[in-house]
């Protein structure tokens, strides 16, 4: 969008740097816009558990829906939340790919396939922007892992870059996102924020993208290199890398005035574009949509004997076993973490409410959740008159003395982070001290392990007695890594049952751009007693729902996973349960590909991902048959770790992460290697069955292919069919190029139609520097997964078409 700006470099340069942590600068006639992190909702700019917002299903769960219309409605809910909170633009969706199951941030991603990610990302963008809120798609590009992400170098060939990793961003640009966020990492030797080929030649040149390109927060490094590469906005601000430094570079002659005018104009154009977005009707019933979306992502992979849906006539006693029934994982541990509504209904609560009158429902945890940082439930050390009955009394002190706190508040969380100033001091530029204290009442006596971590010198007191001191000042270059990693130290203390103790966690810090303090408590384990109760409950039940999975801190920023297995205690629990009751349905609260070598021990298997705040109601409705599990795998699940085309994400000694699989990511790489997955990309089923017939293909003048077929529901219940279209070129490798999600009543048949554009038959020709269609026979395959493709159509293509 063209915007008239003054000629004076110093007059327009503020537009290229943030005004503060989350807002852009303003000029006469160009307002400041406020941004917030996403994509699962509107994250608090304060990283504060009191800023409650709607929590939607994670990216992988939405990817499993294969439903652009539903994903658009979820995006519209986030857009409505943004408007309610005064946010103009959301840093979302995350369009990176699940290249490896070890990716620490996999839960935010739509899956392993670039077309699926691009199609659903575009739908989410459309939904968000229908509410008058702009989308800033992230993270351009190849931020597909977390280990050393601030410095690692993704080594990717041109074909893989264009066909795989850039495709979702290209589709987002076509969908009209107002901005694109450049990643922290390097790409082929250059930081993404300093990568001219990426930012200027491809995004702004080849794609003709009119929006702005912004750095990831604190990701800007060098003024001249970033400006020349095509970065338009550096965040946060002011004047870290661009801003007045941009204008000074223009004055010095190292950067052209036109480049500054282009950058400022793009930011101003982004503001005008947001102001020009139409504000559509808000989603009338967000809870209903989020329940639908959660269920639409559940992937049913086994249902031997038709155990699901649960039939009260056949199930008199239902045993719910596993830590994730009462303590589910709803989201990962990133800075975009959402504060969940206090009336959230757990799966255990929802299942009891749904089935309690029809069958006897018993619950046993079986094993404890495996937290990296265990929770800590306390009551405030001081009554601050705020009515709080839970949480820590957090006090803030200026300097290193023992004077009175300048401010105190109650915080009901075990992880405190400050980016935009400390209460009472209003900034982070002076040294100080923070003390979080509260009363803890042990349920059981014995050895307790207390955890503490933070961005400075740490001290832990129990009833006024120092039991730990450590840590120390954190170098500026290590600060964000310390915050993102959330590593803690621990000490063992012996506590008596039911005897209150006063815990105090202290952080002494030096001036820095952010600070953090976190803590937790793990009580004495009673594994034998817990297991014994679980086995007794299972032995007496008709059906066992085994609810296993991860904790919210299993997937985090800056760390990738060490492996694909569920916690060993959970796998052992499964084996022990199978010995007393064969009727086990495993419900896996996991948001990435994981080890399922144990699946022959269960009769039912369903993956629920991280399904958002309506997990409980959605799961109860699916188990009862009120809804069906509507998801299909947005990723491949291998038989063994070595079968994944990409697995290790650790950079080599040079800091490189070679993308050796090239463009053959996920299911394509498995096909090329002749390796059969345990569960194929696109696989999954509901409570009915489908058949597809009467395929037909018509070629259009522009090179597109219009594919039609008929889908029939041959089962006893209404259900959702996900018809997938793959294109295989001369090499025979199948690529998803289209899909349609449709509801089909029981016994009925519906027509479906898919349009495959000419690009669906092309590949990136590195030598020619462009898209090329091989002059050969291409196959269009229709079916239900990357392996289950019963129908085949032939397309003959001439060179270049």
Annotated catalytic residues are 216
Q: Is 563 strand, coil or helix? A: coil
Closest CA to 347 of 615, 605, 604: 615
Buried b (16+ CB within 10 A) or exposed e, 571-588: bebbeebbebbebbbbbb
> Which residue is associated with the tokens 């084996």?
575
Question: Residue 231, by phi and psi: left (phi above 0), alpha (psi -120 to 50) or beta?
Answer: beta
Pairing of strands 186-187, 153-155: parallel
Pairing of strands 212-215, 179-182: parallel
Write the CA distances from 793 to 484, 756, 777, 782, integer angstroms.
49, 13, 10, 8
Write the CA distances from 351 to 36, 58, 348, integer angstroms.
35, 22, 5
Q: Are 646 and 660 in contact (CB under 8 A)?
A: yes
Alpha-carbon distance 59 to 611, whole Å? 9
* HSE toward the beta carbon, residue 284, CA cutoff 13 A: 0
Q: Are 153 and 194 in contact (CB under 8 A)?
A: no
Closest CA to 763 of 778, 742, 750, 741: 778
Alpha-carbon distance 197 to 200, whole Å? 6
Q: Which stretch of DSSP H or E encloses residue 454?
A: strand 446-454
- Where are the extended beta strands (E) located within 54-115? 89-94
Task: Please count the helices (runs of H) and the strands (runs of E) in the chain.
Answer: 17, 35
- Where are the extended beta strands (E) located within 212-349? 212-215, 299-303, 317-321
Q: Are 376 and 386 in contact (CB under 8 A)?
A: no
Q: Are 792 and 725 in contact (CB under 8 A)?
A: no
Q: Which stretch of DSSP H or E encloses residue 267?
A: helix 257-275
Q: Which stretch of DSSP H or E encloses residue 570?
A: helix 568-578
Q: Are 101 and 593 in contact (CB under 8 A)?
A: yes
Alpha-carbon distance 587 to 583, whole Å? 13
């Amino acid at each position: 969008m063209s915007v008239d700006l003054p000629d004076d470099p110093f007059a327009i340069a503020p537009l290229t740097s943030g005004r503060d942590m989350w807002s852009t600068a303003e000029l006469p006639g160009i307002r400041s816009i406020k941004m917030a992190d996403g994509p699962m909702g509107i994250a608090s700019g304060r990283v504060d558990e009191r800023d409650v917002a709607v929590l939607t299903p994670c990216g992988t769960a939405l990817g499993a829906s294969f439903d652009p219309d539903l994903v658009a409605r979820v995006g519209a809910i986030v857009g409505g939340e943004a408007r309610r909170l005064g946010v103009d633009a959301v840093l979302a969706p995350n369009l990176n790919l699940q290249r490896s199951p070890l990716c620490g941030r996999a839960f935010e991603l739509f899956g392993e396939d670039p077309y699926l990610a691009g199609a659903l990302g575009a739908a989410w963008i459309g939904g968000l922007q229908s509410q008058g809120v702009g989308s800033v798609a992230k993270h351009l590009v190849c931020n597909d892992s977390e280990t050393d992400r601030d410095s690692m170098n993704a080594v990717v060939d041109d074909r893989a870059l264009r066909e795989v990793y850039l495709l979702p961003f290209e589709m987002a640009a076509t969908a009209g996102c107002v901005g694109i966020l450049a990643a922290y990492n390097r790409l082929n030797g250059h930081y993404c924020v300093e990568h001219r080929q990426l930012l200027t030649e491809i995004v702004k040149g080849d794609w003709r993208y009119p929006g702005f390109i912004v750095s990831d927060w604190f990701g800007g490094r060098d003024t001249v290199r970033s400006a020349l590469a095509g970065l338009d906005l550096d965040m946060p601000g002011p004047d870290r890398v661009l801003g007045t430094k941009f204008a000074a570079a223009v004055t010095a002659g190292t950067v052209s005035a036109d480049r500054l005018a282009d950058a400022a104009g793009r930011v101003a154009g982004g503001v005008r574009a947001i102001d020009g977005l139409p504000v559509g009707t808000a989603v009338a019933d967000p809870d209903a949509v989020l329940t639908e979306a959660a269920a639409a992502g559940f992937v049913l992979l086994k249902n031997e004997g038709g155990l699901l849906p649960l039939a009260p006539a056949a199930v008199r006693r239902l045993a719910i076993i596993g830590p994730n029934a009462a303590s589910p994982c709803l989201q990962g541990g990133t800075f975009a973490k959402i504060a969940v509504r206090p009336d959230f209904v757990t799966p255990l609560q929802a299942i009891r409410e749904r089935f309690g009158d029809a069958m006897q429902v018993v619950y046993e945890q079986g094993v404890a959740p495996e937290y990296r940082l265990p929770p800590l439930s306390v009551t405030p050390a001081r009554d601050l008159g705020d009515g709080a009955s839970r949480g820590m009394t957090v006090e803030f002190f200026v300097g290193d003395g023992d004077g009175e706190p300048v401010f105190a508040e109650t915080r009901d969380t075990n992880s405190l982070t400050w980016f935009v100033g400390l209460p009472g001091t209003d900034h982070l530029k002076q040294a100080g001290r923070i003390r979080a204290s509260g009363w803890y009442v042990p349920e059981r006596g014995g050895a307790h392990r207390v955890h503490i971590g933070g961005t400075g010198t740490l001290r832990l007191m129990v009833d006024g007695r120092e039991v730990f001191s450590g840590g120390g000042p954190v170098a500026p270059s290590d600060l964000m890594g310390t915050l993102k990693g959330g590593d803690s130290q621990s000490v063992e203390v012996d506590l008596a049952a039911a005897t209150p103790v006063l815990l105090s966690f202290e952080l002494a810090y030096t001036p820095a751009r952010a600070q953090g303090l976190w803590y937790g408590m793990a009580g004495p384990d009673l594994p034998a007693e817990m297991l014994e109760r679980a086995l007794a409950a299972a032995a007496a039940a008709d059906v066992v729902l085994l609810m296993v999975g991860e904790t919210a801190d299993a997937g985090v920023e800056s760390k990738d996973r060490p492996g694909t297995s569920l916690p060993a205690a959970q796998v052992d629990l499964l084996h022990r349960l199978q010995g007393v009751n064969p009727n086990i349905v495993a419900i896996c609260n996991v948001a990435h590909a994981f080890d399922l070598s144990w699946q022959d021990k269960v009769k039912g298997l369903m993956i629920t991902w991280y399904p958002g705040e309506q997990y409980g109601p959605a799961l109860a409705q699916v188990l009862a048959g009120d809804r069906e599990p509507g998801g299909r795998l947005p990723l491949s699940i291998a038989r063994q770790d070595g079968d994944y085309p990409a697995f290790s994400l650790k950079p080599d000694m040079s800091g490189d992460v070679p993308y050796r699989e090239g463009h053959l990511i996920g299911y394509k790489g498995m096909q090329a290697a002749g390796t059969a997955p345990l569960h194929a990309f696109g696989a999954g089923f509901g409570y009915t069955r489908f058949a597809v017939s009467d395929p037909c293909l018509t070629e259009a003048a522009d090179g597109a292919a219009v594919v039609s077929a008929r889908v029939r529901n041959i089962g006893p219940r209404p259900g959702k069919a996900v018809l997938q279209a793959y294109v295989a070129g001369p090499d025979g490798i199948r690529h998803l190029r289209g899909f349609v999600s449709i509801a089909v009543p029981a016994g009925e048949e519906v027509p479906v139609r898919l349009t495959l554009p000419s690009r669906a038959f092309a590949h990136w020709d590195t030598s020619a520097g462009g898209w090329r269609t091989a002059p050969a026979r291409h196959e269009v395959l229709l079916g239900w997964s990357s392996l289950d493709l019963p129908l085949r159509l032939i397309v003959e293509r001439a060179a270049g078409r």
